Amino acid sequence: MPARPRIRAVLFDLGGTLVDDRAFGAFADLARRVQLDLDPEAIAHAYLEVERAHDARPPAGDRTARRIEFWRATLSLAAERPVPAEVAHRFHRLLAETEFPLPLFSDVRRCLEALRRQGRRLAVVSNATSEARARRILDAARIVDYFDQVTSSGTEGVAKPDPAIFHRTLARLDVAPSAALHVGDLEHTDARAAIAAGLRGLWLNRFGTGFGTDPPEITSLLEVAPWLHRLERGPPQP
């Protein structure tokens, strides 16, 4: 009888998974500084639409070029007119220079506590601008001590969905990809990318049904520990 899988490490995305980084009011304030008078609700609708499109088909270029293109597309859609590239560059620069509070989702701490009781190692794998910034966000949310490793694309020079960022994190944890799970709020950049890298992947779709199986879908982080328990227990014996 084949051995049942044991997941030794659980990796988490940061923004949109552990903390709510969709600060649409703050984005509207920054837009005004580049002479764009945009309603936060218009930015919200545009942001979510562009995020889905870029998750499924990332634009070309390095991490910075992709983020600038993301914001050019988002601001253009919210403004209902093309936004010049130089305006998107200025907005992206302001965003990189501005840090604002990112609320912790209400299900995070209970999820981390449950995984800690199960004896899992925990890590963050984020496309944040730097490891230092990711750690400041985690520290402000008072959860940094839960994590054995924090990996950021800005520091590593490689970003999700590239498998290298997952493999570097797991090498530092001394955990094989087959013994790891990654949880994130983007279907392709997080869940499918993790699966392609040899990990298990869970798509945290807070606005979904939770019925998806390709990739496996959950609607709350409170489902992670029970999902792992079922995985490791295996199907009921006849």
Report whether 25 contacts 62 (CB < 8 A). Answer: no
The per-residue pLDDT for range 9-46, each reduced to its tens digit, is 999 999 999 999 999 999 999 999 999 999 999 999 99
How confident is residue 3, by pLDDT bands cut at 50, 70 and 90?
Answer: low
Q: What pLDDT, on the 0 to 100 scale, is given for residue 4?
A: 66
> Which of 189, 176, 183, 195 has its CA nearest to residue 219?
183
Give the length of the chain.
238
Which of 131-158 are b and which e, b meaning 16 or more Cβ less than 10 Å from the residue's Cβ?
Answer: bebbbebbeebebeebbebbbbbbbbeb
pLDDT digits (tens, 9 = 90+) for 86-133: 999 999 999 989 988 899 999 999 999 999 999 999 999 999 989 999
Question: Structural domains in the chain?
Answer: 9-19+102-233 (3.40.50.1000), 24-97 (1.10.150)
Check residue 221 and report its DSSP letter. Answer: G
Q: 1: pLDDT confidence band, cut at 50, 70 and 90?
A: very low
What are the CA-CA distances from residue 151 to residues 50, 76, 113, 139, 154 (Å)?
A: 25, 31, 21, 15, 9
Q: What are phi and psi of 133, to 5 degrees?
A: -70, -40
pTM beyond cutoff 0.75: yes
∠ CA 15-148-166, nearest 5°, is 60
